[in-house]
A and B are shown apart, each in its own frame.
Chain A
Amino acid sequence: MGTPRTMAEKVWADHIVTHGEGKPDLLYIDLHLIHEVTSPQAFDGLRDAGRPVRRPDLTVATEDHNIPTVDVDKPIADPISRIQVETLRRNCEEFGVKLYPLGDVEQGIVHVVGPQMGLTQPGMTIVCGDSHTSTHGAFGALAFGIGTSEVEHVLATQTLPLKPFKTMAITVEGELPAGVSAKDIILAVIAKIGTGGGQGYVLEYRGSAIRNLSMEGRMTICNMSIEAGARAGLVAPDETTFAYLKDKPHSPQGADWDAAVEYWKSLPTDSDAKFDAEVIIDATTLSPFVTWGTNPGQGLPLSASIPNPGDAANEVERVAIEQALSYMDLTPGTPLKEIAVDTVFLGSCTNGRIEDLRAAAAVLEGRSVAPNVRLLVVPGSTRVRLQAESEGLDQVFLAAGAEWRGAGCSMCLAMNPDKLAPGERSASTSNRNFEGRQGPGGRTHLVSPEVAAATAVAGTLSSPADLEVAS
C-alpha cells in the first residue's frame, strides 16, 4: 500500500501527462464542455494560430447562457445574443465539435446536460469555461471552471498546466431535519467558511448527510463550491452514483461497465488520508437558509433577522454589510420572513433539475402564487422539461399561476430577456446574489426550491412549514 490519498489526489495523479519540478503539472482533460459565451475568443485564437481542435470527440457544446426561454423556435430577437449563438454554431461546424443547439432535445444548461447524458463520470477531469463546472464533482470527477484562454488551451492540446489544489474535507454528519435540502446545506457551509474560505481548495463533501443525498442534491452542493471560493467540489462515488449512471446514453456498457465500476470504487479517499483543512457541520442543526446580502456568504436561517452592521467582527465586514443592506434596501432587525418579493425564479444549474421541480411542485400543488408575484419556472434542460411534462408538473405550475418556460440559464444571470427590473426583489434558486446579477438594480435572495415555492405562495420569504394547509 502506498501513502493514503484523498480522492482529489487520486484523480489528479491519474491524469498527469508530465510532472514538472517547480512548474505546474500538465493535466489531461477527459471532457471539455463548451457554450456560447466563453468560447468565441478561444476559437478565434485557434484560427489565428492555424490550430485544430485536438479531440473533438472529447468536446461537446450546447447553447444555454443567452438564449430565450420563450419563442425558442423563432430567431433570437436580441441581435447581440444571436451573433454569439450563431458564432458558436459556425465554430462547432468548422472545428467538428458536436453541438446541441436550441430546439435539440439534448439542449440545456451545460452542467445539467453533461450528467444527464452520462458524459460526467467518476474519476474524470472535466472543464468548461464556466465556474459552475464544479457541479460535476458530485460524481467524483475533478471538474472546474476555466477562463477563455484555458478554453483555447484545452481545445488545442486537451491538457492544462495546473498546480495541484489543496484539499478540504467538509463533513456534514447526521440526519437533515424535515424541509431542509441540499441547498440549505451549501448556503450554511458558505456562510460558515465565507466566500473566500475555500480559496485554493477542492472541497470534498462527506458524512452521512451527504451520503443520503440523491445525485441531484449532491450536484446542488458541488455546484456552489465556487461560491465559497473553491475551484471544485467532490463527493465520493457510491451505489447512488452508479445507479444514476446505469444505462445513461454515454455510460459504459457490458464489460466496460464492470471495469469502470471497479475503477470508480477505488476512487474514494483512503480512510487514513490527510486533508489540508477540515470543517464539520452538524446536519441536525440546519434549517432553511436564505441570503440577505449581495454575496452568497451573506446568508442566515430563514427564522433570523437582518444583521446589524454594528455587530460585525471587523471594519471590512461592517462596510460590506452596510453596502449590502443599502443595495438590498433592507433595515437591520427586520425578520427575513417579512421580506416581500416581486419575482420567484426556479431554475439554474443549481436547482433546475427534475428533483428540484418535483420538490417545488409538491409545495405548489393545490395552492396559488400570491397576487403581484411572478413565478418563473425554467427547467435546466429540455430533457428535464420533457420529464416534468410527462409527470404533469407543468400543469401544477401553470395551475398555480407560474410561467412554464424553455430550458436555459435565464434569470440566473439575465443575459437573455428574463431579467428583474431595477429595484425588483427576487427569491431565486440560483447561486449568485451579486448586485445586478438578475438584472441591473435587481435584488436577489438565494433560496432552496422548497423555499422558492413557499415564497411564491406567501409573497414573503417563507418555508413550506409557514404555509397554511393546501386546499
Chain B
Amino acid sequence: MEAFTVHTGSAAPLRRSNVDTDQIIPAEYLKRVTRHGFEDALFASWRKDPEFILNRPEYQGVSILVAGPDFGTGSSREHAVWALQDFGFKAVLSSRYADIFRGNSGKGGLLTAQLDHEVIESIWEIIESDPNAQVTIDLTAKTVSVGELVAEFEVDDYVRWRLLEGLDDIGITMQQETDITEFEKTRPTYKPTV
C-alpha cells in the first residue's frame, strides 16, 4: 500500500447526503473479478447526466471529493473504494460516513476525513467559486486547508498510522501467528465446522 502523508489537489463538491455505495458503483459492475479498472463505474448512473459534477469541464482531474453527510451507506462493496481510487480520488471529505465504507477506505489507502458539516459547506463554497482551488490534506497534522480555511479533521488513529506507514493488514496480523494458534486450541468442541 502506498503511504499517505500530505496530498494537494483540486476538489469536487458533491452536494448530496446519503450517497450510498449503490450510487458510488452500481451492482452491475461488481461482476468483474479484477481489482482495478473501475474508473468507468464510479457514479455510473449519475455520470450519464452531462451536468453531473464530475462531468463538468472545470472539475476534471480532481483528486478530492467533498460530500454531504452519511457518505458510503449501504452495501459493503469494497469496489466503491476501488472505483473512487481508480477515478483518481485520494481522499473524501464528509461530516459522517458509513462504518463499513470507512473501514474499507482505510484498508485500501483512501483517506476519509471527517469534518463538521459547516466546514464542508465552507469548502463547497470555496471550490464552487474557484474549481481550481488547491486543497491540501495533511495527515500528520490532521488538517485540511484551502484558501484561508484551515480545519482539523477526525480520522481513526490506527487507520492514520497505517496510512502514514503504508502498512498492509495481513502482514501485521501474520506476526501474531503463534497467538492465533494458541487461541485455536481453546475452541470448544461444540462449535460447528463445515
Which A residue sits closest to B169, measured CB to CB? A153
Check if A49 sits within 8 Å of B170, measured CB to CB: yes
Tell me if A371 counts as interface (CB < 8 A to partner B): no
**Additional 13 contacts, C-beta under 8 A, given A147-B100, A148-B104:** A41-B35, A81-B31, A146-B103, A156-B173, A156-B174, A161-B172, A196-B73, A250-B192, A250-B194, A316-B69, A415-B28, A435-B22, A440-B45
In the bound complex, do residue A323 and residue B16 qualify as a contact, i.e. CB atoms below 8 Å apart? yes
Residue A252 is within 8 A (CB to CB) of chain B in the complex: yes
Residues in chain B near residue A295, CB distance under 8 A = 18, 20, 73
Q: What's the minimum C-beta distance from A230 to chain B, rounded to whole angstroms?
A: 8
B190 with A118: CB separation less than 8 A: no
Interface residues in B60-112 by Cβ distance below 8 A to A read 68-70, 73-79, 81, 96, 98-100, 103-104, 107-108
Residues on the A chain within 8 Å of B81, using CB:
147
The reply to whether A437 and B22 form a contact with Cβ atoms under 8 Å apart is yes
For B176, the chain A residues whose CB sits under 8 A away are 17-18, 26, 159
Which chain A positions have C-beta within 8 A of B189? 252, 256, 259
User: A31 contacts which chain B residues (CB < 8 A)?
Assistant: 192
Contact (A157, B173) CB under 8 Å given A316-B69, A320-B18: yes
| A413 at the B interface (CB under 8 A) | yes
With A129-B76, A434-B20, A435-B23 as known contacts, state yes or no: A157 contacts B180, CB within 8 Å.
Answer: yes
Interface flag for B191 (CB, 8 Å): yes
Residue of B nearest to A317 (CB): B17
Contact flags (1/0) for B21-58 with A, using CB distance below 8 Å?
01100111011111100000000010000000000000
Top 5 closest A-B pairs, CB basis? Answer: A147-B78, A147-B104, A260-B190, A40-B33, A252-B190
A residues with CB within 8 A of B: 17-18, 22-24, 26, 28, 30-31, 37-38, 40-41, 44-45, 49, 51, 54, 56-60, 65-66, 78, 80-81, 83-84, 87, 98, 118-119, 121, 124, 129-131, 145-150, 152-153, 156-159, 161, 163, 195-196, 199-200, 229, 231, 250-252, 256-257, 259-260, 263, 295, 316, 319-320, 323, 413-415, 432, 434-437, 440
The reply to whether A195 and B35 form a contact with Cβ atoms under 8 Å apart is: no
Decide: A58 near B194, CB < 8 A? Known: A26-B173, A263-B188.
yes
CA distance A40 to B31 in the complex (A): 10
How far is it, in angstroms, between the C-alpha of A76 and the C-alpha of B170 when the chains are bound?
Answer: 35
Minimal Cβ-Cβ distance residue in A for B182:
A17
A44, A147, A323, A414 interface centre (most CB from chain B within 10 Å): A147
Partner of A440 from B26, B79, B117 at Cβ < 8 Å: B26
CA distance A432 to B76 in the complex (A): 13
Per the bound structure, the CA–CA distance linking A196 and B98 in Å amounts to 7
B191 touches A44 (CB 8 A): no
| Least Cβ–Cβ distance between A38 and chain B, in angstroms | 7
Contact A199–B192 (Cβ < 8 Å): no
Complexed CA–CA distance, A229 and B96 (Å): 11
CA distance A98 to B16 in the complex (A): 42
Q: Which of A263, A316, A414, A436 is the one whose CB lies under 8 Å from B45?
A: A436
A150/B194 in contact, CB under 8 A:
no
B122 to chain A, nearest CB (A): 15
Fill in one digit per residue for B111-127: 1 if any A CB lies within 8 Å of its CB, else 0.
00000010000000000
- Which among B70, B172, B174, B189 has the greatest number of chain A C-beta atoms within 10 A? B70
Once the chains are docked, how many angstroms separate the CA of A158 from the CA of B191?
15
Bound-state Cα–Cα, A283 to B115, Å: 37
By a CB distance below 8 angstroms, the chain B residues around A435 are 22-23, 45
Let me know if B148 is at the binding interface, CB within 8 A.
Answer: no
Contact residues in B for A260 (Cβ distance below 8 Å):
188, 190
B193 located at the interface, meaning its Cβ lies under 8 Å from any Cβ of chain A in the complex = yes
Assess the A149–B107 pair: CB atoms within 8 A: yes
Contact B26 A161 (CB under 8 A): no
CB-CB < 8 A to B180: which residues of A? Answer: 17, 26, 28, 54, 157-159
CA of A9 to CA of B169 in the docked complex: distance in angstroms? 24
The answer to whether residues A229 and B98 also contact, given A66-B31, A320-B17 and a CB cut-off of 8 A, is yes
Q: Which residue of B lies closest to A48 (CB)?
A: B35
Q: How far is the CA of A30 from the CA of B184 in the complex (A)?
A: 10
Cα-based distance from A245 to B18 in the complex (angstroms) = 38
B76 touches A316 (CB 8 A): no
Q: Which residues of A contact B174 (CB under 8 A)?
A: 156-157
A78 to B30, CA, bound (A): 13
B45-A319 in contact (CB<8A): no
Residue of A nearest to B75 (CB): A131
Give every chain A residue within 8 A of B179 (Cβ-Cβ).
17-18, 26
If the complex has contacts A28-B180, A37-B30, A231-B100, are A22 and B157 also in contact, measured as CB distance less than 8 A? yes
25 A-B interface contacts by CB (under 8 A): A18-B176, A38-B77, A40-B33, A41-B35, A44-B35, A45-B35, A54-B180, A65-B30, A66-B31, A83-B31, A87-B33, A130-B75, A159-B173, A196-B70, A196-B96, A229-B70, A250-B194, A252-B190, A295-B20, A295-B73, A316-B117, A320-B18, A432-B74, A435-B45, A436-B22
Interface residues of B in 160-194 (CB under 8 A from A): 169-170, 172-174, 176, 179-180, 183-184, 188-194
Asked if residues B27 and A150 are in contact (CB atoms below 8 Å), the reply is no
A437 and chain B: residue at smallest CB distance = B22
**Separation of A437 and B28 alpha carbons in the complex (Å):** 10
Q: Do residues B17 and A319 form an inter-chain contact, with CB atoms below 8 A? A: yes
Closest Cβ–Cβ distance, residue B69 to chain A (whole Å): 6
Partner of A98, one of B75, B117, B169, B194: B194
Min distance, Cβ B52 to any Cβ of chain A, angstroms: 13
Is A149 in contact with B45, judged by CB distance below 8 angstroms? Answer: no
> Which residues in B have their C-beta under 8 angstroms from that of A231?
99-100
CB distance from B113 to the nearest CB of A (A): 16
Residue of A at shortest CB range from B171?
A49
- B20's nearest neighbour on chain A, judged by CB, is A434
Q: Which of A23, A124, A152, A229 has the most CB of B within 10 A?
A: A229
Residue of A nearest to B15 (CB): A319
